[in-house]
Amino acid sequence: MSTAPLRPADRGEAADLAAFLRRLVHYDKAAAVRLQLTGERLAVFGRPASFEVLAVRTVLLDDAPQSMDRTVSAGELLELVHAEPEPGAPFGVPAAVTGPPWAGVLPPRTGWRPEPGLPAPDAVRSVVAGVVAEFRARTEALAPQERTRSALDAIGHDIWSRPLGDTALPVRAAHAAHAMGFLRPAPVRVSAGSAAGDDSPEPFALRSAGAWLRLRTPYGSVAVRRAGLGAFGVSVR
């Protein structure tokens, strides 16, 4: 089913979307995204390969269609965003693809509540840098014959499953936020506020809704189920 082109509210919205899609494709050339429209905001859900989380970026639109819920190729959508001669110009939506399992299990749009214990942004960035360095050091310390998949997975599980600060959010969620570019210093223009249904004004926060936890930043959100997404066959590495 065809749909009218989508028009970002400004060139910054288009650039942010392109950056988000580019990172997803970097980790998985065959990445898919699910697009859901709520009012004038298009929520773009993706699952960066190997991180066991969902990443969410919202795009403020002008002349938004009445409804949209479609799973498409991230690479094809990125090409259409880039194909326009002017940043912020309308871009088409690719044809729907068969969605991966994660696309059928999305965070709720409403019902998010504040969760205490989240460290400050600088502290979160420091934690991520520290655990990345620890993972590298521990894997490099293994003898070549000991660097098996099971050994690396065991180290990864020990590191990435640790709680972040005084929260129940696993460190892997913060690592994924870093990898997706969500932990950069906050810009003046904040457009990620209603990602996955949260309209709270705080730019950096932890929220919960049912079985879900969500780390929200000015650039986007990372959501994870408390029981993890391992049922989808995602590695903790």
Residue pair 102/232 in contact (Cβ under 8 Å)? The answer is yes
HEC string of 128-146 equals HHHHHHHHHHHHHCCCHHH
pLDDT band at 234 (very low <50, low <70, confident <90, very high): very low
Q: Which residue has the higher pLDDT, 78 or 233?
A: 78
Q: What is the pLDDT of residues 11-41, one digit of tens each?
A: 888 889 999 999 999 999 999 999 999 888 9
Amino acid identity of residue 132, one-letter, is V
Mean pLDDT of 224-237: 51
Rounded mean pLDDT of the chain? 86
Domains of the chain: 1-115+182-237 (3.10.150)
230: left (phi over 0), alpha (psi -120 to 50) or beta: alpha
3-state secondary structure of 221: strand
pTM of the predicted model, to two decimals?
Answer: 0.85
Tell me what pLDDT residue 82 has.
Answer: 81
pLDDT tens, residue by residue, 120-158: 999 999 999 999 999 999 999 999 999 999 999 999 999
